[in-house]
Amino acid sequence: MKAFAIGAVAAAASFAAAAQSSVTLFGVVDAGVARVSATGKGHVDGLMTGGNYTSRLGFRGVEDLGGGMAASFWLEGETATDVGTSAGLNFVRRSTVSLSGRWGELRLGRDYTANYVPFLSFDVYGQRGIGTIEHFATAAGALTVNGAAASDIRNSNSVTYFLPANLGGVYGNLQYAFGERSSSTVASATASKKQGNYAGASLGYASGPLNIGGGYGNFSDVSRAAAYLTDYSIGSLGASYDFGFIKPIFLYQTERADGKLGQPDFKFDTIAIALSAPFGASTVRATYHSYNNKTAGTAGNNDAAKLSLGYVYNLSKRTALYADVARLRNKGSASFVIGGLGGSVVAGAPTAGGTSTAFGVGIRHSF
């Protein structure tokens, strides 16, 4: 990462009080070659992006306000290494401004949801690439907010409070996000005044080799298949213990939508068990996770399970080579396909109850 100090000349030209400040340009460039196949749909070969880390470009800065206080900003956008586009550098990954002190941090803007923080922490693949824990339930739910796909990963229009770092290993946050619906909105089967509002929290404890944490979030009145409203909630609990030579990880997540006006509910659970084993400049990682569809009346036990194995070799602190392989098996009428490879290497959904296989190799460089 390369830091640029904002000196007196720049301050005079743009910001009169930029003393004690710094701005950092940072990013990741990640690309690889992959194949994804699915029962009845053949296979797709191509160049994947973000197979190990999401390719990104960002700027962050901090100003020391004195007395233990600081102001900061973070602007981060995703890029597609395979095709060189990003739909415009729109900082969709994160765009926040913060004020922090001994009391904690208050952060405003677009950021991770409170419930997603533990989910990300306990995925050995960091929620990216062939081996990552799939977001099965979100895909199955067909949930939207104001015409856009609802996401359990990031919130726009959010206000978040983070606990201070001096609590003996305890960490957590509280978050509220505005759906920004008019108070004059007429309630109907597909609209309400509180549509898209979000409230969530996370809490954890990390000390030495132990890390345990959980999170919960609730989205009010999101649209289900553009037909009716539902309250969508998601909760997760994870734990890991680093023995030095190996780190086992456990993650449980439950998602549910409570249908309104007599419409059906749905419920999904995900359980993941993972291992990470470093040796020298290398790390081996493996994950098994199962998706259980607990929706009442679901025909054919429409579940899925995925097994992943990966290897990372660090050429330096900033550059690594990696290889991953995964196989996903569907049950009943489920037809999920392995994702996490970027937008261009995507096989069609397999036939009901079919399988999906993927493997790839790549290189990741951060700056």
Q: Tens digit of pLDDT for each residue in 198-234?
A: 999 999 999 999 999 999 999 988 877 666 778 889 9
pLDDT over 80 at 159, yes or no? yes
Say what the pLDDT of residue 108 is. Answer: 98
Give the C-alpha distances (Å, rounded to integers) separating 300 from 123, 255, 327. Answer: 29, 20, 21
Mean pLDDT of the chain: 86
Spans of all domains in the chain: 34-50+106-154+170-366
Per-residue pLDDT, 366 = 97
Alpha-carbon distance of 266 to 123, in angstroms, equals 24
Asked if pLDDT for residue 9 goes beyond 50, the answer is: no
- Give 16-21's long-range contacts (Cβ < 8 A, gap of 24+): 18/63, 20/63, 20/64, 20/65, 20/66, 21/61, 21/62, 21/63, 21/64
CA distances from residue 120 to 56, 132, 268, 300 in whole angstroms, order as listed: 17, 10, 18, 31
Lowest mean pLDDT across 17-21, 134-138, 271-275, 323-327 = 17-21
Please state the rounded mean pLDDT for residues 58-67. Answer: 96
Can you tell me the distance from the alpha carbon of 158 to that of 179, in angstroms, rounded to the nearest whole number?
9
pLDDT at 30: 95
pTM for this model (two decimals): 0.86
Is the per-residue pLDDT at 15 higher than 80?
no
Query: Rounded to an integer, what distance in angstroms lies between the CA atom of residue 232 and that of residue 222?
Result: 7
Whats the size of the chain, residue-wise?
A: 367
7 burial via Cβ count (<10 Å: 0-12, 13-18, 19+):
exposed
Q: For residues 271 and 255, is the Cβ–Cβ distance under 8 A? A: no
Decide if 353 contacts 330 (C-beta within 8 A).
Answer: yes
Give pLDDT, residue 235.
Answer: 94
Average pLDDT over residues 24-49: 92
| The pairing of beta strand 198-207 with beta strand 170-177 | antiparallel
Answer yes or no: is pLDDT of 89 > 80.
no
Beta strands in the chain (DSSP E): 2-5, 21-38, 42-49, 56-66, 69-78, 94-101, 104-112, 143-145, 148-149, 154-162, 170-177, 198-207, 210-224, 228-241, 247-259, 266-279, 282-293, 304-314, 319-330, 355-366
CA atoms within a 13 Å half-sphere pointing along the CA-CB vector of 312: 21
CATH topology of domain 34-50+106-154+170-366: Porin (2.40.160)
Per-residue pLDDT tens digits for 242-287? 999 999 999 999 988 887 767 777 888 999 999 999 999 999 999 9
pLDDT digits (tens, 9 = 90+) for 98-131: 999 999 999 999 999 999 988 889 999 988 889 9
Q: Which of 72-86, 100-114, 139-153, 283-297 has the lowest mean pLDDT?
A: 139-153
| Whether 25 contacts 366, CB under 8 Å | no
What pLDDT is recorded for position 138? Answer: 57
Dist. CA 246–CA 262, nearest whole Å: 49
Q: What pLDDT shows up at residue 176?
A: 97
* Cα of 310 vs its chain's centroid, Å: 19
More confident position, 128 or 135: 128
Position 16 pLDDT exceeds 50: no
Q: Is the pLDDT of residue 95 over 90?
A: yes
Residue 359 above 90 pLDDT? yes
List all residues 6 or more positions away from 316 whose beta carbon is below 8 Å from its beta carbon: none
pLDDT value, residue 18: 47
Average pLDDT over residues 32-49: 90
Running DSSP on this structure, what letter comes out for residue 137? H
Report the alpha-carbon distance of residue 340 to residue 54 in Å, rounded: 10
